[in-house]
Structure 1
Amino acid sequence: MAKEKRKNHIPLRLNILFFAVFILFSILILRLGYIQIVQGEEYEEMVNNDGERTANVDAPRGLMFDRNGNTVVDNELQLTLTYTNRPGNDEERLEIAERLTNFLDIGEEAIDDINEREWQDYWLQTRDEEADELVSDEEEAQLEEDDDIYELQLERLPEEQVIEDLSEEEQETVAIWTEMMSGYNYSPHRIARGIDERTAHAVSELMHELPGIDVMRDSVRMYPYGDSFPTLFGGTGQIHSNDLERYLGQGYERTDIVGTSQLEQEYESVLRGEKAEITTDADGNESMDPGKRGNDLVLTIDMALQQEVEDVIDNNIESTSGSTFLDDREAYAVMMEPDTGEILAMAGYDDHLGTVQSAYEIGSTIKPATVLAGYSSGVIDHGTVYHDTPINLPESPSISSWQNLGHVNDIDAIRQSSNIYMARIAMALADYQLGVSGTDWSGASQAYNVLRNHYRQFGLGVETGIDLPSESTGMAGDDNPQNLLYMSFGQFDTYTPLQMAQFAATLANDGDRLKPRLVKEILDPATDNDESSSVVRQFSPKVMNSVGNTDGDFERMQEGMRQVMQQGGSNGGTAYSDFSGADYNPAGKTGTAQTGVNGQEAQNQAMVAFAPHDDPEVAIAVIVPNTSTSDEDSGLANSITRDALDAYFDMQADGADPEEADDDDEIFRDPDDDLE
């Protein structure tokens, strides 16, 4: 029987394959047609834009002006060399650093900043054979891990040997190399600021041989008045690692320059500009979005007065003998408007920042607040009289005034500075009856609370509210009953010069504690030379609280303070000799706090004042800490106050312009200067 012939299935399979290919080609043709017809223009634009490069250029920060329109913080354009780091390019980075040594002038300060580990890392990376000899073959076999071997090499390589082994040129290379490594990966990092045009041009010609290197336009802060008010303007610098996440969330880039302290930091969002954007197409044509300079600040500071107050402090301190100060020489003064809280001048001897961050016992200057606390709590009335004679308590040193004053009332106690009067108020607040058998100090805690709560109403012991990133609130001592009496006349808790100035201003304006301010206005910078700046925001006086005393209470204390400076005679004011002849009708309170420094008895000299007495327009606080207890230089605080008030009223009458810095003075500041 003949076999049945098998059917051939190959043609069917081929047909299926051909059909599938046909379908795929149809889809492809349709897709290409869609791209060409529908999306053609979009892709053509993408092709045309291929090769475009966009670069952001930092916008200059906003300027700062004093209250009279003088530019006190400006910008100076400069050229900056940047380097963009990439992981895994150690050898390339070293080669670039070596080549840059030929272009950059590396100062000794930069070399001094190199730490021991950086010296060692450079030495080990450039001296392979010598590095291998630091670890034996047996040790290398035992350690196995490269990191362990490297750590052992570091341990056996003393810094002195490294530095001695490096030439001057290599040391400069290390300075550049460490700066290059300090930046973030893939972000341009400033490695040299303020390079001249010749250097910039020379580097630019070789840029194709220096991967990661670029030259950008930049700016640096300039201070036309040199060292006047330096630390309180604040500093700028690259974003600190602790703040990086916050700034990135606000749209900053890792390499941006930001305010790092004081006014620059407090008003960072205002001073920051909008970056310029430069776009270069494939043909090399540039287009630019110009960006915008940051907004400007109008400060409350009068720069001419600021310079006068700085000179007053410097002249008074530098005229003292070498034995006057038992520690570093210090003196601080703060002047403000009582009715607005605007700071007119803040100065310290070599340390302006101490006006807000250093706290001291302020002595008898606190006495008006103690008397007002006595009025408010009802333990004394207007005219209450105490006998000023020493107080001797069990297990406590004798307490007395600077001399036995006899019978004194509230105004006498201010004019003649009675410690005993204040101590008796504190005793009454504690319900302690002097000379009465069986009395105790169970009410001392309550007395502490009453006094401190009243002091806080004047800004003593709490934040003043000044527009700076931080301030000290001073320090409150332990509530020991024995110290209560000392606190009542200013020899226990500590306060800052700024708190003292707010206290003086509150006394002057009948009890309204105003928020102190360093900025009056924020301006939108003019975009055209003929266009004036517009006001973005104007700050109005802000009353933080009102002290719980009557107008009559304040009138009593203001009269006592007037007599301190204007009443002479055998029972005259403690500052009459210093202010005799002042034609601006001053009022104030002197203070001396007994302290100890370096195992020696010392004193803080202090004064709070305002003028004119009947219509105050300026308040001032001065403190000179850690002076000797001799009489030779005991009037420094009074002298500084008198000279500063004289300068203020002379300037109101005659006017004055601030003096610009000489060429020898420092009018530029590196953005990374530490001014905190």
Structure 2
Amino acid sequence: MQEDPQQKEIAHRRQFSVRLNLFFFATFVLFSILIVRLAILQFVEGPTLKAAQDKISTKDVRIPPIRGNIYDSTGETIAYSTSTQSLYFQIEPGFKNDEAEQFARRLKEVFDKYGDPEKAMTVEEIIENMDLTFRRNTISVPRRIKSGLTNEEIAYFAENRDQFKGIDIVEESIRHYDKDTVAVQLIGYLKKFKGAKDLSFYKNMDNVTDPRLKYLDDEQVGFDGLEYMYQEQLRGKNGLKTYPVNAAGRIIGPVQITNPEQGNDLYLTINKQVQLRTEQAIMDQLKELQSTPNGRGANARTGYAVAMEVKTGKVIAMASMPDYDPNVWEGGSILTEDWNRLQRFMENGTIREVYQPVEDYGKHPSSLVPLGSTIKPLTVLIGLNEKLFTTDTYYNDDGVFYYGKEGIHRRSIRNARGAVYGMMDPARAIEKSSNPFMAEMVGNALYMKYKGDEGVKVWDSYMKQFGLGVSTESGLHNELKGIIEYFNEAKSASVQSALVQASFGQQGRYTTLQLAQYAATLASRGKRMKPQFVNEIRDANGNLVQGFEPVVLNTIDFPDSYWEEIEQGMRRVKVTGFEGFPYPFLRKTGTSEQSVAGKIVDNAVFIAAAPADDPVLAVAVVVPEGGFGGQGAAPIVRKIFEAYDDEIGFYGKPKNPTKPAGASKSGSTTKAAGADTAESAE
């Protein structure tokens, strides 16, 4: 039976009516809610929202801080910063290189008319600073054209900015270094923060929220040496330009300026005059060695020296020569050709492994050389303390000691130049630098006393007590601990070979700073001092922020008779260049043989401390490929001792103080005193 069509139509209409009513009801409810909400916004929350709209917030623009200065121990300026206005140039799209000369000439006209005559620039210098070939920066980085703008230059460029597309005037801090190039690798240099973020100190600096401590990408920061080590003290705090802004970000009032806070100043232990004379002594000695045809030191190209006070640990001089002028880093970047030419001079060879600046790289020794015979005072101390012999023991040096199994594994240890010294006690063994004594009485005797590799471990323990193979704790960035080789020798050859070779100065390579610390430890009879480079830190007003006291890292307790025995031997070592020296002094020469690129080379090593009766200053000098230590390195130490006595005084009073500007370090023709006197042994 079919449904009535009329009834079906009525049912459809009724359903539609219900749906329509539901729609209107829902619409009514929604509009009612909206009206109520609008009423609440208007009458209840309105005043609060109106206050929020009118509320003033601030926007901070950071001003780079002015870096603190660095002074030597007498207050002479080594590094300082100036706040200046600089002209920068941004390469804009469409700028053509053939437009550069005309652009540079227009800039030169302004510089000549309104600028400081002492800072005049040539067109070529302006074009070079524009860096159109991207040698220094990428295209997006602004180039600094000129620093130290005068007020007249600033006013002109501000009024005529539209005539010089791409220019901008920036307030910045410029770092300047002493033109005498004083301890430049120790002082370090600056780079832009955005290029230094890989260094550990800067890795989390982007997370700093305090606007006065937050780094700017183009800010110059310490990248090496003391500039990096004391970055936090030297930096200071940002200045701020604080602008009041409303919720829409519009500036609605005058700017409030918080001036930058200048960083603290460092007063170093380095004495400028002693430092300059140390640097000059190295360069003079290198020239002397190179001028001797077919001499043992004819290939010497570099030299390293550290002078450290025995009782305080203060480093008076630290030289890695040749050096360079760190002002090439002005602005936080360097030209590619300057980098290629100078990169090997930038590294501090007294704490790191640095190679000679020669084209045949890898064919010459680095700054890290074996101790050579300078180890022998310590070797004797080890023998005495291990009861391998006594101070009254006599040994017959017949010029050679054999070890190893008979046959192809048999090895011989001989004296330099094949010398035979006959009967000797430990002191004479040091004086004559007897290799057979050290090898048989200490190295081989330790091998016989201990089982397995225990003897090597005992040897290593003594080395580390004297600072060899461990950090000096100087705090300098990337300081090496030296390279220990006797463990590898024990595994690859034999324990006997490792101990015998180590006993006379092989099987370990160490930095010049480690050698200076070792020499000071010997001179102090067992107090290993922390090397210190800063006497005090003061704020910009001269108020003391932090002082420094001597720090004893560890002590070695041996009977006085042991120390007296090695001192007796060290007093008698014959060397070149000390004729007429007015003080008795402790010393030990070293000629460390080293295999480099298939050939054997001799490195000159020398340690000393003066005066012998109450040592004040310890010095270590290394001249790679310098030949015998008593000839290639000792004359440098003589000049360092004299410089210290003149400027500071072994007995607390300067003997002949001077304060002239430093001499050129290109080398001189002056021959080292006593150069015709040879040492007796190494």
Q: Quickly name the TM-score band, shorter chain normalised.
A: 0.7 to 0.9
Whole-angstrom distance in 1 between the partners of 2:43 and 2:253: 33
| 1:336 aligned to which of 298, 308, 319 | 308
| 1:462 aligned to which of 453, 460, 470 | 470
Which has the higher mean CA deviation after the structures are superposed, 463-472 or 313-322? 313-322
1:382-461 pair list within 5 angstroms:
382-393=391-402, 394=406, 395-400=410-415, 402=417, 403-424=419-440, 425-431=442-448, 445-461=453-469
1:518-537 pair list within 5 angstroms:
518-526=533-541, 532-535=542-545, 537=546
1:581-620 pair list within 5 angstroms:
581-596=580-595, 600-620=599-619
Query: Which residue does 1:375 correspond to in 2?
Result: 384
Task: Say which SS state the counterpart of residue 612 (structure 2) adopts.
Answer: coil
- CA 1:300/1:177 → structure 2, altered by over 3 Å: closer, same or farther? closer
Query: Which residue does 1:257 correspond to in 2?
Result: 220
Which one-letter code corresponds to 2:444 in the other structure? M
Which one-letter code corresponds to 2:464 in the other structure? R
Please say if 1:644 is aligned against 2:616: no
The Cα offsets for residues 334-391 of structure 1, whole Å up to 9 and x where unpaired, read as 1011112111101132057111113112221111100111112111212221111122
Whole-angstrom distance in 2 between the partners of 1:389 and 1:105: 80
Please say if 1:347 is aligned against 2:319: yes
Whole-angstrom distance in 2 between the partners of 1:368 and 1:177: 52
Number of residue pairs matched by the alignment: 558
Which one-letter code corresponds to 2:479 in the other structure? E
Task: Say which SS state the counterpart of residue 431 (structure 1) adopts.
Answer: helix
- CA 1:73/1:443 → structure 2, altered by over 3 Å: closer, same or farther? same
Which one-letter code corresponds to 2:655 in the other structure? D
Whole-angstrom distance in 2 between the partners of 1:456 and 1:176: 49
Query: Which residue does 1:654 correspond to in 2?
Result: 655
1:439-588 pair list within 5 angstroms:
445-477=453-485, 478-479=489-490, 480=493, 481-482=496-497, 484-526=499-541, 532-535=542-545, 537-562=546-571, 564=572, 573-575=573-575, 578-588=577-587
- CA 1:255/1:348 → structure 2, altered by over 3 Å: closer, same or farther? closer
Whole-angstrom distance in 2 between the partners of 1:574 and 1:649: 22
1:181 CA displacement: 3.9
Query: Which residue does 2:180 correspond to in 1?
Result: 226
Give the TM-score, by structure 1 length.
0.73
1:16 CA displacement: 8.8
CA contact (8 A) 1:505 1:513 kept: yes
Task: Say which SS state the counterpart of residue 528 (structure 2) adopts.
Answer: strand
Task: Say which SS state the counterpart of residue 350 (structure 2) adopts.
Answer: helix
Please say if 1:69 is aligned against 2:68: no
The Cα offsets for residues 176-212 of structure 1, whole Å up to 9 and x where unpaired, read as 69835455xxxxx665562644765555446579999
CA contact (8 A) 1:57 1:216 kept: no
Task: Say which SS state the counterpart of residue 494 (structure 1) adopts.
Answer: strand
Which one-letter code corresponds to 1:582 in the other structure? F
The Cα offsets for residues 139-165 of structure 1, whole Å up to 9 and x where unpaired, read as xxxxxxxxxxxxxxxxxxxxxxxxxxx
Task: Say which SS state the counterpart of residue 623 (structure 2) adopts.
Answer: strand
- CA 1:381/1:482 → structure 2, altered by over 3 Å: closer, same or farther? same
Query: Which residue does 1:356 correspond to in 2?
Result: 351
CA contact (8 A) 1:101 1:172 kept: no
Unpaired segments ≥5 residues, structure 2: 1-9, 107-125, 209-213, 245-250, 324-346, 353-366, 667-682
Q: CA RMSD in A?
A: 4.0
Give the TM-score, by structure 2 length.
0.72
CA contact (8 A) 1:97 1:173 kept: no
Query: Which residue does 1:568 correspond to in 2?
Result: none
CA contact (8 A) 1:474 1:493 kept: yes
Task: Say which SS state the counterpart of residue 491 (structure 1) adopts.
Answer: coil
Please say if 1:267 is aligned against 2:230: yes
Whole-angstrom distance in 1 between the partners of 2:149 and 2:528: 52
1:505 CA displacement: 0.4
1:83 CA displacement: 8.1
Query: Which residue does 2:340 correspond to in 1?
Result: none
Please say if 1:43 is aligned against 2:53: yes
Whole-angstrom distance in 2 between the partners of 1:228 and 1:278: 37
The Cα offsets for residues 241-264 of structure 1, whole Å up to 9 and x where unpaired, read as 535752313443433322111211
1:596 CA displacement: 4.5
1:507 CA displacement: 0.6
Which has the higher mean CA deviation after the structures are superposed, 382-391 or 239-248? 239-248
Which one-letter code corresponds to 1:612 in the other structure? P
Query: Which residue does 2:341 correspond to in 1?
Result: none
The Cα offsets for residues 613-637 of structure 1, whole Å up to 9 and x where unpaired, read as 12111111112220357xxx96131
**Percent pairwise identity:** 28
1:20-419 pair list within 5 angstroms:
24-25=34-35, 27-33=37-43, 37-38=47-48, 40-46=50-56, 54-80=60-86, 93-95=93-95, 174-175=132-133, 179=137, 181=139, 194=147, 196-197=149-150, 204-205=158-159, 214-238=168-192, 239-240=194-195, 242-243=198-199, 245-250=203-208, 251-280=214-243, 282=251, 285-320=254-289, 321=291, 323=293, 324=295, 325-351=297-323, 353-357=348-352, 358-393=367-402, 394=406, 395-400=410-415, 402=417, 403-419=419-435
- CA 1:104/1:582 → structure 2, altered by over 3 Å: closer, same or farther? same
Whole-angstrom distance in 2 between the partners of 1:170 and 1:341: 46
Which one-letter code corresponds to 2:512 in the other structure? P
- CA 1:398/1:551 → structure 2, altered by over 3 Å: closer, same or farther? closer
1:100 CA displacement: 7.9
CA contact (8 A) 1:417 1:574 kept: no
CA contact (8 A) 1:180 1:191 kept: no
CA contact (8 A) 1:362 1:593 kept: yes
Task: Say which SS state the counterpart of residue 639 (structure 1) adopts.
Answer: helix
1:446 CA displacement: 3.5
Whole-angstrom distance in 2 between the partners of 1:211 and 1:33: 54
Task: Say which SS state the counterpart of residue 615 (structure 1) adopts.
Answer: coil
Whole-angstrom distance in 2 between the partners of 1:482 and 1:177: 52
Which one-letter code corresponds to 2:304 in the other structure? Y
Whole-angstrom distance in 2 between the partners of 1:587 and 1:334: 16
Whole-angstrom distance in 2 between the partners of 1:326 and 1:582: 27
CA contact (8 A) 1:58 1:275 kept: yes
Which has the higher mean CA deviation after the structures are superposed, 645-654 or 314-323? 314-323
Whole-angstrom distance in 2 between the partners of 1:75 and 1:628: 43
Unpaired segments ≥5 residues, structure 1: 85-90, 107-167, 184-188, 433-441, 527-531, 565-572, 666-676
Whole-angstrom distance in 1 between the partners of 2:578 and 2:483: 32
Task: Say which SS state the counterpart of residue 507 (structure 1) adopts.
Answer: helix
1:39 CA displacement: 5.4
CA contact (8 A) 1:326 1:597 kept: no
1:276 CA displacement: 0.7
1:413 CA displacement: 1.3
